[in-house]
Structure 1
Amino acid sequence: CPLLILPILRFVCGVSLANASSIAAHYGSVSAGTFAVVLTYVESNNIEFGAQTTLYLVMLELPAIIVALAIYRFFNSEKQVEGVSHRAIWHETLTNRGVVLLVGGVLIGWMYGPVQGASVTELLTGGFKAILAI
């Protein structure tokens, strides 16, 4: 979806590249707020769900973030600096703080596993809901 919305924002609506990339990333990603509401609904109705459900949220967020960052850097670097390689753009995109934190969280969760990670799950889930409420 980011690849579809970006040209519409740029050429039909006349939005700047930075803003169009940001909006495209938000449009293409999953809403954490919606995820929290659905999770609360599922829990309140005693519907069983797997521990990997939060992983789905992260795995759906990553592509939208990566694509939007890459698009922005690719088109922005062509205007400002000649000779910026695609490799440098992908390196910057994939080593972005947000991407590294999401991937790092997935790896830490994988290393802990569902049994050992259960001790901190309630703390983090409760904190997530509190931050969303604020």
Structure 2
Amino acid sequence: MPFEPVILFFLLGALAGLIRSDLRIPAVLYESLSIFLLLAIGLKGGVELARYPVGELLFAAGVVVAAGALIPLIAFPVLARLGKLPRADAASIAAHYGSVSVVTFAVASTFLLGRGESAEGYMTVFLVLLEFPALMIGIWLARRGAGSGDWSKVLHEVFAGKSIVLLLGGLAIGWIAGSEGLKPLDKLFFDLFKGMLAIFLLEMGLVAASRIGDLRRAGWFLAGFAVAMPLVGAALGIATGLLLGLSVGGMTLLATLYASASYIAAPAAMRIAVPEANPGLSIGAALGITFPFNLLLGIPAYHWAAVTLHGVFA
């Protein structure tokens, strides 16, 4: 089965980085693309959310957040005890893996779209909700027994960060306007989505290639963790999806969310809350290994598992 075209753009960027090409995506374009993608995902989720009574989602949202909160609690002792990492680094990496990647979610959505597979529209709500708990748990793990730190700055960084503002804002606009109200914007935010994602992934390939040096210095343990932890998260996502009765597409997206690692919101929050942690370790693992692993192997595997288990238990 051939790769999705958007993933080939990521591979092109990674190759360009590895051969030390002078290819560069201008910073202003990268920033513009990230704003576009976040808004587009939020708008699409809001349109779909309008089709559901909000009250019906409360139980599912509670289960998804509670299950997602287990991920940093699983990751931390593995990193601290088996990996023998300092508490600050173990907590920071655990927070990155407990949080989620918007771009990985976007690629998984594109993967499903290419196969004519639908998913529950409220998955974007889960995407937004899963940003918070892991960051708070990671900070608590780092600060346990050493004071609480400046929580007001951390909370502001998390809740006022661009990813949350744009996702929540797009979600609200899509929910209020509905599909009919957003029709004049369809060609911009929906028709151009895959093209914008492709250029963004070209830059992500360049960045991922630049992080390989951090992982070499970290050693084989962290590299193995960066592959094993997504599999643990995906298994938790599949199990949670089965419990909630999600469709194959919904299970695939939830598995992808749990398997992903944040490299936008988490680094910003950890920089303020746990400044002694080495960001090269967390970003190197999340972006240098976990992100390409999910794009190339993980998402197809999670979809296969969802199809197989949904057929058995549905």
TM-score normalised by length of structure 1: 0.66
After superposition, give the CA deviation of every residue in 1:64-117 in whole Å (9 maximum; x if it has no partner).
223213333x24x82xxxxx5x4x643233122x44224423431243124356
CA distance in 1 between counterparts of 2:87 and 2:193 reads 35
Q: 1:111 to 1:65 in 2, by over 3 A?
A: same
1:133 aligns with 2:194: no
CA distance in 2 between counterparts of 1:64 and 1:33 reads 18
Using the TM superposition, name which of 51-60 and 109-118 deviates more: 109-118
* Identity across the alignment (%): 29
1:15 CA drift (Å): 0.6
* Moved beyond 4 Å, runs of 4+: 123-126
Match of 1:6 in 2: 76
Match of 2:151 in 1: 90
Q: 1:40 to 1:107 in 2, by over 3 A?
A: closer
**Aligned to 1:47, what secondary structure does the other structure show?**
coil
Using the TM superposition, name which of 5-14 and 113-122 deviates more: 113-122
Q: 1:51 to 1:4 in 2, by over 3 A?
A: closer
1:125 CA drift (Å): 6.3
Q: 1:52 to 1:128 in 2, by over 3 A?
A: farther
CA distance in 1 between counterparts of 2:78 and 2:120 reads 38
**Partners of 2:76 and 2:91 within 8 A in 1:** yes
**Aligned to 1:15, what secondary structure does the other structure show?**
coil
1:27 aligns with 2:88: no
CA distance in 2 between counterparts of 1:125 and 1:70 reads 38
The letter for the 2-side match of 1:107 is L
1:25 CA drift (Å): 1.6
User: Residue 105 of structure 1 is aligned with which of 166, 180, 197?
Assistant: 166
The letter for the 2-side match of 1:121 is F
CA distance in 2 between counterparts of 1:111 and 1:23 reads 31
TM-score normalised by length of structure 2: 0.33
Q: 1:64 to 1:104 in 2, by over 3 A?
A: same
Match of 2:189 in 1: 121
Q: CA RMSD in A?
A: 3.1
**Aligned to 2:130, what secondary structure does the other structure show?**
helix
1:14 CA drift (Å): 1.6
Q: 1:40 to 1:2 in 2, by over 3 A?
A: same
User: Residue 47 of structure 1 is aligned with which of 112, 117, 120?
Assistant: 117
**Partners of 1:29 and 1:64 within 8 A in 2:** yes
CA distance in 2 between counterparts of 1:55 and 1:117 reads 19
**Aligned to 2:138, what secondary structure does the other structure show?**
helix
Q: 5+ unaligned residues in a row in structure 2: which ranges?
A: 1-70, 204-314
**Partners of 1:70 and 1:89 within 8 A in 2:** no
The letter for the 2-side match of 1:100 is A
Give the paired residue count. Answer: 124
1:126 CA drift (Å): 4.7
Q: 1:38 to 1:57 in 2, by over 3 A?
A: same
